[in-house]
Amino acid sequence: MYICILKNKPIIAKDKLYIEEFKQHFKGINTFKTADIANFYRSFEPDIKQTTLNWRAYNLVEKGILERIGKGIFKIGINTIFIPNLDNKAKNIYKKIKSEFPFVDYCIWETSIFNEFSLHHSNKHFILVEVEKESAESVFLSLKEKNNQVFFNPNLKILEQYIFNISQPIIVKLLISEAPLQKIKDYNTVTLEKILVDLFCEEDLFNFYQGREKNTIFRTAYEKYTINNTKLLRYASRRGKKEGIENYINQIIGKL
């Protein structure tokens, strides 16, 4: 095997990666595992070492030929990470909470996010502020002081009687521990993995995006962006829905 050393990392010669053969071999396969990659290379080099296999997988990811979507799970392509947008109202809410509760864990996002993935765009949007359990009520009361369109963990009756008829209400709910979040500039917000799991778990809250719309959202999300299935299923497990969402995704997307 021809390699050179750069910053203590072996750079494998292109001809040893069998790039074109690799792409052709895994073409049309949604996801595959480390063992599948090993079997591919062993068809060329039966005695290849595991350390060499690991470095080849690493190099393929670095080159953008291989995409890591979970622990030991890959697909062909380039990582495309979903970056949610926040409007000025949501940003101001975030800053207010940060100023008054500097040590509290929380995130903020907007349901208008779903419009990128759905077939029919809903004009019913609201801002979600998710806060750690110990501080959620305090944050709610603080926001409520200057805005009477703030609701705390609303049930279906409140949603139907009030929230669904209001323009951009604010909903404060509990942040589930170890939820997959991301930092965009100065704002703590959600990942696509979290959005999809929440959509699956909270049918009342996301009433406008159920049925066929939910199927479309999941399919479009998987087509457009890189989704870490390990992260998604770990969060679903935290919500007690791992088996349900895994079966659902397998039905509409294909085997995870």
pLDDT at 58 over 90: no
Query: For the chain, what are the domain ranges?
Result: 3-76, 88-252
pLDDT at residue 11, as a whole number: 42
Q: Which of 245, 238, 232 is nearest to 200 (CA)?
A: 245
What is the separation of C-alpha 72 from the centre of its chain, rounded to a whole number of angstroms? 18
d(CA 197, CA 84): 16
What is the structure's pLDDT at 226?
85
Q: Tokens 């939910």 identify what position? A: 214
Per-residue confidence band for 1, with pLDDT thresholds at 50, 70 and 90: very low
Per residue in 92-123, pLDDT (tens digit) is 999 999 999 999 999 999 999 999 999 888 77
> What per-residue confidence (pLDDT) applies to 5?
34
Tens-digit pLDDT profile for residues 23-41 = 889 988 888 999 999 999 9
Under 8 Å between Cβ of 82 and 89: no
- What is the rounded CA–CA span in Å between residue 7 and residue 11? 10
* Chain segment 166-216, per-residue pLDDT in tens: 889 999 999 999 999 999 999 999 999 999 999 999 999 999 899 999 999
Q: What is the pLDDT of residue 146?
A: 87
Helix (H, G, I), strand (E, B) or coil at 70: strand
Question: Across residues 53-75, what is the average pLDDT?
Answer: 86
Contact 86, 189 (CB under 8 A): yes
State the average pLDDT for the chain.
Answer: 89
Least confident of 6-20, 60-74, 98-112, 208-222: 6-20
Give 256's pLDDT tier (boundaries 50, 70, 90).
low
From the list 105, 187, 97, 91, the residue with the least C-alpha distance to 139 is 97
The reported pLDDT for the residue numbered 12 is 44
Report the pLDDT value the prediction gives residue 15, as an integer from 0 to 100: 59
CATH (residue range 3-76): 1.10.10.10
The four Cα atoms 35, 234, 94, 151 give a dihedral, to 10 degrees, of 150
